[in-house]
Chains A and B, each alone.
Chain A
Amino acid sequence: MKPFPTWLLDRTKLADSHTLATYKKAGGYQALEKVLKQPLAPADVIQELKVSELRGRGGAGFPTGMKWSFMPDPAKDPRPRYLAINADESEPGTCKDRVLMERDPHGLIEGALIACYAIRAQAAYIYVRGEYRLSYQRCQAALDEARAAGLLGKNILGTDFSCEVHMHKGAGAYICGEETGLMESLEGKRGHPRPKPPFPAMFGLWGQPTTVNNVETIFNVPFIVARGGAWHAGIGTKGSKGNFLCGISGHVNKPGVYELPFGVTARAIVDEVAGGVWKGRQCKAWFPGGSSCSLVRGEDLDVVLDHDSLKTKGSSLGTAAMVIIDDHTSIARVMEIIARFYDHESCGQCSQCREGTQWLAQIFHRIATGHGQPDDLATLESLAQGMAPGKTICALSDAAAIPTLSAVRLFRDELAACIREQRDPIPYPRVEYAGAH
């Protein structure tokens, strides 16, 4: 792999990287100062983000500048407005935002302040999943430092820009990573996603205009403001600009969170970055970006990792959380785990999802434990087709259906053998226990 410029993880390698002193020494808060003192108009910041072609890093890949521009004109709509930062990182395989929050929280805070300035929000809420206690503590400590240094609260850096950033703790529900579920949860309710429209820019937190962005997305903002949108747009592939954080887990020698430019192949990541498939084995299948993507065959590792290329393999970039599965692993067992997860996390509002995820979990469980029925693969396909696409309030139902359909499509013979032989030919350790909801 050719050398490439990095910025996302550079500061995380410094001593005491989570402190204001280190952050400032590394040039921190200069982008905010540029915005406030030059000053740049909010519209100019949004324009810079549009030029940068930054796309959201939370899984959907929506253009960030365009999302910000959906916020209504404050002259015509004077309601209070908010930024919600989605730090509910829960997609299986995804562990990248945690690295930024634990080791470089000021980068997130500076990004949050610039974003609030651009969309004219008076407050940002960082919704952190409850299990990320260290992320919460580090971000809260960084907020306290920023406040003491005049970087947060009233009249930031002596200008007339005032903004609050608050931490908010979730409590273990995957569905709260869905932007409207997150807002319901932040309001103190069950995390039941809302039907869209209305979209958050018009009816978000407490019914007010709201933008929801992922941590890594916001983290990119100060770099783009400091260096210019054109700089960012000059890196990567068509439609996928900049660097991204790739979490790679499962059967590789060096799992980790790595910063990479769009355009590298999955094979280069597995072999050159992650030290190859472990135990000298072959890759049988992989998820490119969390368990909600279609599985891809091990033979198809030569695909480039970006928003568009993975579509040629029937999958998607998702959160760029690669999960590598070796050739000694049962696909029935993999899918049993994945299906159980969606069954556990379905919020229960929509019948297709509530009932469908339960059936997918039951059927994969019985296939994996040697009790598959002859028509189970047809049943899985018909269930999944009834759950997606776009048949429910949110995409959790789709997220359960998509890997199911890919597993049946790519590994039909293996799953059929489990059913025919009434056992999983690939032995796998298991402990039996009833689920807890």
Chain B
Amino acid sequence: MALPQKLVQEFDRLVQRYPDKKAGLIPALHRCQEELGGWISPAIMEDLAAYFGLEPVEVYGVASFYPMFRLRPVGQHFVSVCHNISCELRGATEILEHVCKITGAKPYGTSPDGRFTVWPVECQGACANAPMIDLDGVFHEDLTTAKVDALLGGLKR
């Protein structure tokens, strides 16, 4: 596999921001995850290693350090549920249970139909609007189970 030309051109511009090309690695991992199937496959790591002049294991070492990078396939929709203190004090457990119930996914798992991955996450910085979830990269705050129904129900087939 090779990186799509569009991404290569984007990375060529990106790395100009830095005196050292390697600084573009984490932003590049983000772009690959966004554009190439929602997770960082071993093939992507090899491609990025080639682009940045690194060993694949160096890319793996970086990708595996950061919680936002997913190293195995995920569902069509990714639901991060904050379970840190400010959200837990305002019902994050009920939100997590509810998200799991209506998606059919278990925490840190993907629903059998492949549509949803549910991921409990540490503080997302939405503490004053707790509880919250991040659905496909968008924050949804001040949640109730009814709001979760409306949000995820609309996505269900």
Report which A residues bind B (CB closer than 8 A).
Answer: 80, 89-95, 98, 125, 129-134, 164, 166, 168-174, 185-191, 206, 247-251, 255-257, 287, 291, 321, 323, 325, 329, 333-334, 337-338, 341, 344-345, 347, 428-431, 433-434, 436
Contacts and interface: CB of A to CB of B under 8 A. Distances in A.
A345 B138 CA distance: 23
A142 B19 CA distance: 23
A186 B124 contact: no
Nearest to B119: A436
Given A168-B17, A190-B62, A334-B85, 16 more contacts: A90-B123, A132-B125, A133-B137, A169-B27, A172-B68, A173-B67, A174-B123, A188-B24, A188-B26, A249-B128, A255-B86, A329-B89, A337-B85, A428-B93, A431-B97, A436-B108
A256 B128 contact: yes
Contacts of A187: 20, 22-23
B145 interface: no
A248 B23 contact: no
Given A92-B123, A186-B23, A173 B89 contact: no
Contacts of B100: 431
Nearest to A334: B85
B106 interface: yes
A338 B85 contact: yes
Contacts of B23: 168, 186-188
B61 to A, nearest CB: 6
29 contacts: A90-B122, A90-B125, A91-B123, A92-B84, A92-B122, A129-B125, A131-B134, A168-B17, A168-B23, A171-B67, A172-B66, A172-B67, A174-B123, A187-B22, A189-B62, A249-B127, A250-B130, A251-B89, A255-B130, A256-B128, A287-B85, A291-B85, A323-B89, A333-B88, A344-B122, A345-B122, A347-B65, A430-B93, A433-B107
Interface string B95-131: 0110010000011100000000001111111111110
Given A250-B86, A431-B97, A436-B119, A170 B26 contact: yes
A142 to B, nearest CB: 16
B12 interface: no
B90 interface: yes
A186 B65 CA distance: 14
B62 A206 contact: no
B44 interface: no
Nearest to B108: A436
B116 to A, nearest CB: 15
B124 A131 contact: yes
Interface string B58-72: 000110011111000
A190 B57 CA distance: 12
B60 to A, nearest CB: 11
Contacts of B119: 436
Given A133-B138, A431-B97, A433-B120, A185 B26 contact: yes
B30 interface: yes
A337 B68 contact: no
Contact of A171 (B69, B97, B122, B138): B69
A90 B126 CA distance: 10
Contacts of A168: 17, 23, 26-27
B45 interface: no
A325 B122 contact: no
Contacts of B27: 168-169
B89 A434 contact: no
Contacts of A431: 93, 96-97, 100, 107
A387 B128 CA distance: 31
